[in-house]
Structures are given as C-alpha cells and as structure tokens.
Amino acid sequence: MTRLRLASTVFILFIATVLFAQDKFGDKLIQRDGKVIVCQVREIGDDEIKYVQEGYRSDLVFGIDKNKVEKIVFSDGREMKLSDSMYGKENYTLQRKNALKFHFFSPIYNATAFTYERSLKPGSSIEVGVGIIGLGKDLNNDDASGVYFNVGYKFIKDPDFYLKGMRYAHVLKGAYFKPEIAFSTYHYFNDYNTYQGYNTYGRNRERVMMGAFILNVGKQWVFTNRFLVDWYVGAGYGFGKNDADYRSTHFAFTGATDDMPLVFNSGFSIGFLY
C-alpha cells in the first residue's frame, strides 16, 4: 500500500509539473508574417516585447520588435492586439486629420481655388478641389467664367529605412504621389477681326468643356498641427470639347489642344488643419 501511495504521489507531482510548465510557457506571440512564438511574456514596452522560452536558462530574456507582432494570446485565453507604430491610427489620435487649402497664386490666373483634404489612414489621404473661374485677374481680357473640379488620392511616402518605433511626424506631412482627375467647364469671349471691304470687329462667345487625368508629385509641410504648405507639379492627358485649337489654358490644367493632348499642372497652396 505504501508503495502504491508513493507511486501515486510521484505521478501526481509529475502531472502537476507538466501542467505548470505548460501554463508557464503558454503565451503565444503571433507575428505579422504568421510565425508563432510559444513563450512566457515578461514585459510589454513601447517598442519591444520581452519573453523567456522553455529549454533556455530562466535568466535568458529574449526581445522582439513590437511592430513585428500582430497579437499576443495569453495562456488564460485573453488576447491583446497590437498595431504598427507607423500605420496604426491610434498612434495619431491627437493629430488633426482635415485640411482646407487655398491655392495661393490662382487669382493671378483668373480663378480662385480651394481644396479640402482628409486623411483616410496613415500614408493615404483624399483631396477634393473646386475653382471659380472669373474670380481673379483677367490677364487675357477674355471675360472667362465658369468652374472646375478635381479629385485626387494621395500616397504619402514612408521612410526609406526603418527605425524601431518610427512613425509619421504628421499623417498629412511628407512627399507624395497623387493621381488626379480634373474637369473644367467655362465660357470666354473670342475677339475677331474680318475684312470685307471694310474692317469688322466683334466678339464670339465660346464654350469649353475639358477633362484630364494627371499624375502629380509634391510635398506638404505641416506646422504645429495647425498650418500647412503644399507644393506640387504634374503631367497627364486631356480630353474634351475645345473649339479653339490654340487655347491651352483651362485653369485646372494647361495643355490639351487638338494637336497635343498632353497637359501640365502645378500649384502652391497654404491652409489650416482642423
């Protein structure tokens, strides 16, 4: 009987030891590439997770970049999801995500233009713009009036190299690539001069409707989470109805005559965030 009790005690202790070891090293680090590390989590810092693994000395502590871990599954079944410091929205909660911009030089070219920009996620934003043609300096003296619209999607450049814990200085700040669609509709007066035994002068009212697909590159600076400056250039292809073959100024862009569909675009904007 004594031997039976001793064997039972040893068996129970063995089972308890195994269960304790399984519980001790029952945490799982689920990495973003799908790999799993079974361990005991010791510390979760701002940039690094520290853990110990079975089979190694108890004083040997490993570390892993927090951005490499998608979530932690603890031995008791609880889960903790982790976000990348660069792209996690919660890392930018105090930053203003909306901006209203004024195209600083647009009135010189007889159009006053504004753009609204909204951050969709870190590294991406959308822009919608409108220009009032005729509200500015009429350098061509053609009394042009109308409106233009544009909409674009910004891909904001991330760093060329990665440092632990790196993030965007601001979600709307940085160099970017922006595909854009622009549409311009306006009318203007075209002066004419004919001679049929005598000189005849007059003005014809012309209507223009033009569109373009433009690829822009630029850079935007943000100051104190309140003000911004934006500069860009672009090129693309235009299409639409333009009865005057020579006319290439369409306010939203320049180019797209009957002889050449190529268009160009550039701008300088200032604005505020909210």
The whole-number pLDDT of residue 233 equals 98
Q: Is 111 left (phi over 0), alpha (psi -120 to 50) or beta?
A: beta
The whole-number pLDDT of residue 10 equals 55
- Per-residue burial over 133-159, b if 16 or more Cβ lie within 10 Å, else e, is bbebeeeeebebbbbbebebebebebe
Domains recognised in the chain with CATH numbers:
2-82 (2.30.30.100), 90-273 (2.40.160.20)
Beta strands per DSSP E along 111-253: 111-121, 124-133, 145-156, 174-195, 199-223, 227-242
Residue 35 and residue 211: Cα distance in Å, rounded?
Answer: 49
149 near 111, Cβ under 8 Å? Answer: no
Report which of 110, 102, 156 is spatially closest to residue 129, judged by C-alpha positions.
102
Low-confidence ranges of the chain (pLDDT < 50): 16, 18-19
DSSP class of 89: G
The whole-number pLDDT of residue 265 equals 94
Residue 109 and residue 124: Cα distance in Å, rounded?
Answer: 30
CA 227 to chain centre: 18
What is the maximum span of the chain, computed from C-alpha positions, in angstroms? Answer: 138
The whole-number pLDDT of residue 141 equals 81
pTM over 0.75? The answer is yes
In tens, the pLDDT along 111-150 reads 999 999 999 999 999 999 999 999 999 888 888 999 999 9
